[in-house]
Each structure stands twice: as structure tokens, then as C-alpha cells.
Copies of this chain bind each other. A is one copy, B any other.
Amino acid sequence: MSEQAKAKHAAPAATATKAATPAIPFEYSNRVILKAVLESGDGGLGLVGRRFVIGGWVKSSKEVRKESVAPSKVDVVARETDQSLDVSCSEILQSRIPFIRSIIKILGGSNYSVREKLEPVIAPPRPPPPSVAFLQVSDGSCASSLQVVVDSSIAIPGHILPTGTCIVAEGELKQPSVEGKHVIELKVEKVLHIGRVEPDKYPLSKKRLPLNLLRDCPHFRPRTTTVASVMRIRSALTFAAHTFSQNRGFLCVQVPVITTTDSEGFSKTFKVTTVLEDEEVVSLEVVKAAMREKKKIVEDLKRTDSNQEALDVAIQDLEKTTDLASQLEAREKHSKSKSSSIKADKKPQEFFSRQAHLTVSGRLHLESYACSLGNVYAFGPRFSASKVESPKHIAEMWTVEIEMAFSQLEDAMKCAEDFFKFLCKWVLEKCSSDMQFVLKRIDRTIIDRLQSVISISFERISYTEALDALKKANKKVETTLEWGTALTAEHLSFLAEEIYKKAVVVYNYPKQVKPFYVRLNDDGQTVAAFDLVVPKVGTLISGSQNEERFDMLSARIKELGLVGEEYEWYLDLRRHGTVKHAGFSFGFDLMVLFATGLADVRDVIPFPRTHGKISN
């Protein structure tokens, strides 16, 4: 890296406007937030001598015998690195330094290491030798963790050492007795709470969990440093999106999730219903009858002296059925006390008068507010039931939509660019420590990339120019690309990554590749739509000036064979007081991808919903 580039990387940390630092102690708990200690400028040195209650989860740990509290060289190495480590911290360390790996292996596994001589396991029980536990504790408020020192006289080491243990403790902030990475440590005087883990069953105890395996435990993965950093960045971006909009006078409108309007015309949607049969309705009577049957079988088997195995199976089966029966009984009892009218409505009726589905896009609804309040935005979940797997699109994603009355295509493109630049700037300024983590552990070019977005003006080309550029660079794309065909995600990415090497705005598409509501240009062939395409992620923003002329829109709806009455309300906006207006949809989850250098939206969405997969 050049000196200049290095300076650029250092800049955000140095010039960062501090994100709001919580008060010490936090006002809704008796603990301090670790961010307030660890990111207090001097790394917490100014707070030495103060007494605090802290709480958090153990990221990694080490137990050191009392007679040798001064850690050996191995310990120091381990501690020096673990502040930037992921959940799999000790595992990565092992894989990198074979020497340490073998030592730790001998000392009893990867979760935590105990420095003691290998003694015969069958030795007579005796009080464990006094020791000190060094815990790296994180409370999720920042990327760093605090070194927490607990004497074995205060808490049983085996209870607090496993990764994932929750600890709440009171103590004094001190300078470490031994030199190392840490500027401060908490010397614990009293342990207030221990939330233990079962290391065998805790998914994050396992070795080296890559992101795709972490997806199987979405309820635990924010405990890893990577996912926690990503989610903090996501939270900052959420606030940035609102701040950009509100500071420019845009009004937030919560458009509906349940709708009868198909915003895109031919979308695959999730239907919403209340009359679906429960997958398996088991009546208590049936289960009780089965239970009696099975009881009989068991007794028959007992009487006839048949083999033990068959009897065991039958007993097990009976137990299962008995369990189910008592569960159903409890359930029925409870639901009766809750509402006695359950039996009354025999014939279930659909909740809404018309078939409703989950919204694909909020833009049409938002238009109605733009055509009265002027400049508006929405921020909410949007849905697609397309079963095509993609690391960029899943069933439930969050989108920011903006709509501006009295504005045109050019205005929407400008606003989209400003919006994107604003978010990039915000992340660099407000998330400096998390971005340092991303830089070190995920993507070494991330800060360069974000800074270049802020400083460079984007390429703006028409669809026709994009087609020409792709044809010229035809080594990698098909030469069969004819005017009128849709540009694929690959085409668009190629423009941003290979040809222009920066964000590209493509506008004026052929009308057949864009939704029915986009405004027809004077050439009669193209429409006033645009896409903002960025390297690595692809299309981040899609926007358009929408058709404000009643006749044009009405004809287009007819031409495409859309169900006309579904769009009557939308046509109404052109019947009465119509106005030119433009806007865009901003893929919020894709923005988080762009800001974190990750490749799959499932890793930046708290509970991703994909085809066939839903676990909670």
C-alpha cells in the first residue's frame, strides 16, 4: 500500500465524529457500556481507578496458575491478537501458528486452554490450585473487548471460561499488571451473574465457523465479532438513511406491507390468508384413542413375554403419544379460557374482501403521498416469492424508496447519487472502529472503495451507450446483445467493474424491460428509468420518472394485459391534479453489503428468509 493510501486509511479513525457515546453508567442498567470505556479516546486510561459493573459475553479466555501469573510468551501472543479476533479466534490462531496449535491441543481443546501440567486424570480429587482467569468480554456495543480478570477464589474457573458465557461483574479498572495489547483491564471483586454455556451444544463452540454455517444459527451469530460489526454498521446506515431524508425535508410514509396492488405487474408474490388449514390438526379425541390402543399393545407384550426390544419400542411409542395428549389437553384448556368462541366460527372466512399479498415495492403507494405532500420516503420490508437463488436477492429485504413531485429523471438520478454518497460518508465517519475491523478481517480495499465513491463523480450513460460499450469490450460478453434486450446483472457489473471501474448510472431503457409505470420518452421507444450500478454489488438503486399522463399510462396497462381495476386508484392520481414526479428504490441490504465487503445478503440481514429456509 502506498503512503498516501495508508494516510487515507488512517483518516476516518482520526477525523471521525464520535457517534453518541452512552453515559457512564448506562441509564437503564447498573452496568457501564463497554464502548464508553474502550472508545473513550485514550482507550480507557483516564478511567483507571474507577469502579464499575460490566456485563458481556466471553469471546475467549485463558486460565493462568497463581504461581505463574506473569503470562509466558505464548500467552502474550494470544492476547495480542484476540482483540481483533472473530468467534473462531483461538481456532484461527491455531491454524496460523502450528506451534501454538499443538500446545493448546495438548492442553485440552480449542475453547479455552488451561495452563497446567499434564497429570493423570484418575488422581484423587483435591481442591483445584488457585488460578486467575483472563476473559475477553464483549457486550456488543463495539468491536473491542475488555480484559476481565477473575481470581479463582471469586468464581469457579470452569464456569466462566467457556466461550459464550455471560458474566456480570463488579471491579476496579486498572492498568494491566503485565504489558500487552491491553491498555486497561477490569480486576473483578464480585461476580454478580454467570450465564453458563453447554460447550458441547453451543454452536459457536465449534471450530472455525464460516459465515455460511453461521446462517444456521441466526439467533446466536451476532455474538461473533464479524456479524456484530456488520449489524452495528447496518444500524448506523439505518439512521443515516432517515437523517439524509429528513434533513432534506422528505416526509417518512409507512406504506403498507399487505396490499392488493402488484407494483411491478407480473411479480411472484406471497399471498396473505387466514383460511389456510393448519398443517396438521390433531384432535385430542383421536390421540386419546391411539393412547388406549398403545397401552393395550404394551400390556399384551408384557403378558406374552415377548422380547424386551419390542416392548421397549412399544413403551417409547406410548410415552410419545401420552406426551402429545397432555400437551393437547393443556392447549385446549388454555385456549378455552382465552376465548370460548373458537368452536363458533365453523366456516372460516377470508380476512380481507380481496386477495391480498405482501408488497413487492412501495413506490406506487408512495406516489400517492408525493402527489400531495411533495417529497416523501418510505423505509420498510419488501417481498418477492421468486425461487431463483441469488446472493443478492432473497424473499424479504428492506428498501428505502423516495418519491418527489415536481421532479424529473435527472433530479431522481442526482438525488440517488447524493443519497449513496451520504451513506458512504456516514459509515466512514460514524463507524470507524467497526470499519477498521472490516478492513483487517474482511476486505482490505473497503475504505478506499468507500472514499472513492465520495470523491469521484459517477459515469452516466444511456442504455444505448452501455450497449455500445459492452459490444466494444466484447471479449467477455456475448456479441448477440441486441438493442431492446434487458441487460443482465452480469452486464451491469461488467460496466461498473471492468469498463468504467466506478459507479455507473445507466438510463433511458427500452420500454419493454422496465415496469409499466415508467414514463415514455419522446422517442416512443425508451422510458425514463435508471439503474445505479456499483462494483462488487451490482444494481444498488433503480429509479424512474413515472408516467403522469393518464392516456399513456392507461394504454400501457391495457397493452400489458394487467388487471385494470387493480390500478384504478393509481390512475386516479393522473385523473385529478397530476404532476411530473420521479423517484427510486434503494436496496438497503445491498448497501450494507457494499459497506462491509461481504458477498451474500444473508450475512447482513438479521434473520434472512430464503426459499425453503425459515427456522424461527
Contact = CB atoms under 8 A, between A and B. Distances in A.
Contacts of A228: 372-373
B331 A561 contact: yes
8 residue pairs, one from A and one from B, having the closest CB atoms? A331-B561, A330-B561, A140-B373, A219-B368, A195-B578, A222-B372, A166-B577, A22-B249
A558 B330 contact: yes
A424 interface: no
Given A140-B373, A259-B616, A272-B271, A29 B193 contact: no
A202 B561 contact: no
Contact of A31 (B57, B273, B406, B418): B406
Contact of A251 (B231, B352, B559): B231
Contacts of A223: 371-372, 577
Contact of A576 (B197, B374, B579): B197
Complex copy number for this chain: 2
B193 A580 contact: yes
Interface in A270-301: 270-274, 276, 278-279
Given A33-B374, A202-B575, 8 more contacts: A55-B579, A219-B569, A220-B372, A222-B368, A228-B373, A260-B614, A271-B272, A365-B616
Contacts of A279: 354-355
25 contacts: A20-B246, A21-B249, A27-B418, A55-B374, A55-B579, A58-B577, A141-B375, A164-B577, A168-B406, A193-B580, A195-B579, A197-B575, A218-B368, A219-B569, A220-B368, A222-B369, A223-B371, A235-B252, A238-B242, A238-B254, A242-B242, A270-B274, A271-B274, A330-B561, A334-B561
Contacts of A268: 274
B415 A28 contact: yes
Contacts of A274: 268, 270-271, 385
Contacts of A26: 249, 375
Interface residues of A, number: 139
B365 A606 contact: yes
Given A352-B614, A373-B228, A407-B28, A253 B273 contact: no
Interface string A374-391: 110000110101010000
Interface in A224-241: 228, 231-232, 234-235, 238-239
Contact of A614 (B20, B354, B405, B411): B354
A577 B251 CA distance: 42
Contacts of A489: none
A334 to B, nearest CB: 5
B579 A353 contact: no
Contacts of A248: 20, 22, 27
A459 B441 CA distance: 51
Contacts of A365: 219, 606-607, 616
Interface in A381-418: 381, 383, 385, 387, 395-396, 398, 404-407, 411-412, 414-415, 418
Contacts of A575: 197-198, 201-202
A257 interface: yes
A574 to B, nearest CB: 8
B266 A572 contact: no
B395 A258 contact: yes
Nearest to A573: B219
Indicate the member of A371, A375, A606 with the most B CB atoms within 10 Å.
A606
A545 to B, nearest CB: 12
A17 to B, nearest CB: 13
Contacts of A6: none
A73 interface: no
Contacts of A56: 374
A231 B253 contact: yes
Contacts of A512: 337
A211 interface: no
Contact of A407 (B29, B238, B371, B418): B29
A529 interface: no
Given A141-B249, A141-B373, A222-B369, A577 B406 contact: no
